[in-house]
Structure 1
Amino acid sequence: MTGLSTLCYIEKDGKYLMLHRTVKKNDVNKDKWIGVGGHFEADESPEECILREVKEETGYTLTSYRFCGIVTFVSGNGVTEYMHLFTADGFEGEPIACDEGELEWVDIDKIESLHIWEGDKIFLRLLAEKVPFFSLKLVYDGHDGLISAVLNGKEIKK
């Protein structure tokens, strides 16, 4: 099975807006901290998807954002997800409560200490280093264990 999704890290004052996924049942991201985003609807481009998902989950309309890369997640459970990764540094609107968990502004340098996916640490470092557009493949063992990470076709982690 294959899925298409987007994820955005909205930045303000040295913090990212993080979503603590605590609500959904049978959520692969249950209790993890992630950016905001979600799955494509019919005929959407990555940009249309991220604008819609951010608005639905946060109440914000993005005014300045960047498409940073594609992350291929291989779950080990027969599911592959192609996630389109964005950052944003401009937005407007009033925040709303998110029905998927709690939204919280977190210092960027403290995010790695949160309960996040091991592979997320890799692409968060790439974002921090302002690496140009990249392709990252993350292979998991069916649980939380990261088996391999391949950046732009070259293995970086076993």
Structure 2
Amino acid sequence: MIVLRHEKQFLLLKRGKEPNKGKYVPVGGKLDPFEDPYSAAVRETREETGIDVEHLQYAGVLIESSPTAYNWQCNIYVADIPYQEVPYCDEGELSWIPYEQIPDLPTPPTDWIIYQYLMRGQVFAFNAILDEQLNLLSMDDEIRGERVWPISS
């Protein structure tokens, strides 16, 4: 997954199909055979947006575990890019979204936490536990040894 950012705006994809249909997500995809995560992020960005990113920064990893077949490890990169017109994407609709508006949009529950870490420039290693319906039960920051969701008072 690659988060494309211009200042305090993120280029997000409102997905037109599952998974996460109707939700705003960063661009991304699966590794091709013998492909490393960095190269996959560059390729997926070009395929989904037409944007050639030259410099990616590793942001962290998200592990999603559930009692179903849905179990993922996602390497996450961030690229600061110049503002440009929103390109066409056959995966859904791309939009520049201001950071402060993201909590008001439908997104996967893990993503808002990721955006907060990106804005603080913090590398992360998240372990997210999901139930059978893929609802987020908990999310831990493995680097700092703390629970980031749910937040206990």
8 Å contact from structure 1 (residues 70, 83) kept in 2: yes
Correspondence for 2:136:
146
| Aligned match of 1:81 | 72
Q: Is the 8 A contact 1:21 1:102 kept in 2?
A: yes
1:134 aligns with 2:128: no
**Equivalents in 2 of 1:122, 1:93: separation in Å?**
26
Displacement of 1:78 in angstroms is 2.7
Tell me the CA shift for residue 152 of structure 1. Answer: 1.3
Match of 1:10 in 2: 4
Report if the CA contact (8 A) 2:6-2:83 is conserved.
Answer: no
Residue in structure 1 matching 2:62, options 55, 71, 87: 71
Q: Conserved in 2, the CA contact under 8 Å of 1:64 and 1:88? A: yes
Measure the CA separation in 2 of the matches of 1:76 and 1:39: 21
In 1, the alpha carbon distance for the partners of 2:48 and 2:134 equals: 25
More strand by proportion, 1 or 2?
1
Q: What amino acid maps onto 2:58 in structure 1?
A: F
User: Alpha-carbon deviation of 1:66?
Assistant: 0.5
State the TM-score, normalizing by the size of structure 2. 0.87
Partners of 2:66 and 2:134 within 8 A in 1: no
Q: Which residue of 2 aligns with 1:3?
A: none
1:144–1:109 Cα change, 3 Å: farther
Mark the runs of 5 or more structure 1 residues left unpaired by the alignment.
Answer: 1-6
> CA, structure 1 residues 46+125, in 2 after alignment: closer, same or farther (shift >3 Å)?
same
Q: Could you say if the C-alpha distance between residues 36 and 55 of structure 1 is closer, same or farther in structure 2, counting changes exceeding 3 Å?
A: same
> What is the CA distance between 1:92 and its match in structure 2?
9.7
Q: Is the 8 A contact 2:86 2:95 kept in 1?
A: no
Q: Over aligned residues, Cα RMSD in angstroms?
A: 2.0
| Runs (5+) with no aligned partner, structure 2 | none
- After TM superposition, the structure 1 = structure 2 runs for residues 6-155 of structure 1, keeping only pairs within 5 Å, are 7-22=1-16, 24=17, 27-90=18-81, 96-131=87-122, 133-152=123-142, 154-155=145-146
Residue 155 (structure 1) shift: 4.4
Structure 2 distance, partners of 1:38, 1:115, is 20
